[in-house]
Amino acid sequence: MSARKPIRKAVFPVAGLGTRFLPATKAIPKELLPIVDRPLIQYAVDEAREAGIDQIIFVTGRGKTAIVEHFDIAYELENTMVERGKSLAVLDATRAVPGDIITVRQQVPLGLGHAIWCARAIVGDEPFAIMLPDELMVGTPGCMAQMVEAYNQVGGNLISVLEVPIEQVPSYGVIDPGAVLEGFGGALTEVKGLVEKPPLDQAPSNKIISGRYILQPEVMRTLENQEKGAGGEIQLTDAMARMIGTQPFHAVTFAGRRFDCGSKVGFVEATLALALEREDIGADVRRIAERLLRG
Ligand code: UTP
């Protein structure tokens, strides 16, 4: 309906150390850990493509080259598979259109905000998406597609949020919600403020920030001028908080499920949930899970 600049670029920060998954992530990037048979990064890239985003920007670091390899053509593998009569369909989503994937390096992991800032020259003067691949968002339509739909209506900046039991709020970034916009089934809320890990008695809501954002390019300048925040890292939440009041800021409550695959428990939960839903292995996994639970 609008003449807003479309969202064509998504930044995937994948330069983190993944210390919570050591030793698994010593030589393998966390973002390549698979949920059943698809790496986390593949779920996130597919979600972006579903939302009409065709420029994928990886902010990588040392030891993360395998992520780029994953989206390349593997001639030897493919030739061997063809010779053996195997279908290449399983590799379809991994073949990028030439030029669609761009990488920049974050030499030192100075935090999420700094990782995003490293992509400033490629983002340029366009609104862009940010997708954290270790947060697995499962929904139809996908989380980013839901956000792009909201963006086409209200423009400005958007973050995806989820409602959690209030006692969990101190572990997350939460929004201070303003008015609920009409339409969107109550899923679009004005954002008055953002608070990182508030004590329970000071939590402004139970809506936690999950790993999907649509931001205006001005955030890059805010990040540039920012002091280091919690943990000596340059925080994205702080930069976004400083933009509230100068530009429209809304939260989209995601209609779907989110798995925090940056944590071990969340990763196991996602594996089990998605395995149980699979046509090919679901019934077997259910039988095994039931047997294990009987002890
Ligand atoms: P996390 O907070 O999960 O950090 O980053 P991490 O380093 O990956 O993992 P732990 O906490 O040590 O186990 C969230 C996202 O931001 C990226 C990560 O790769 C992940 O996708 N990130 C984080 C960067 O790209 N650079 C950073 O400096 C920090």
In the chain, where are the structural domains located? 9-262
Report CA torsion sign: 112, 115, 117, 119: negative
What is the per-residue pLDDT across 12-71, written as a single tens digit (0 to 9) for each? 999 999 999 999 999 999 999 999 999 999 999 999 999 999 999 999 998 899 999 999
Say if ligand 1 is within 6 A of residue 18 CB. Answer: yes
Instruction: Identify the residue whose C-alpha is closest to ligand 1 atom 21.
Output: 14
Q: Is the pLDDT of residue 157 over 50?
A: yes
Residue of 11, 12, 17 with the most ligand 1 atoms within 8 Å of its CB, for mutation: 17
Mean pLDDT of 244-248: 92
Structure tokens at 291: 């047997």
Q: How far is the C-alpha of 5 from the C-alpha of 236, rounded, in Å? A: 22
Say if ligand 1 is within 6 A of residue 17 CB. Answer: yes
Say if ligand 1 is within 6 A of residue 173 CB. Answer: no
Distance 231 CA to ligand 1 centre (A): 13
Say if ligand 1 is within 6 A of residue 20 CB. Answer: yes
Query: 3-state DSSP call for residue 75?
Result: helix
Looking at residue 149, what is its pLDDT? 94
pTM of the model: 0.94
- Superfamily of domain 9-262, CATH level 4: Spore Coat Polysaccharide Biosynthesis Protein SpsA; Chain A (3.90.550.10)
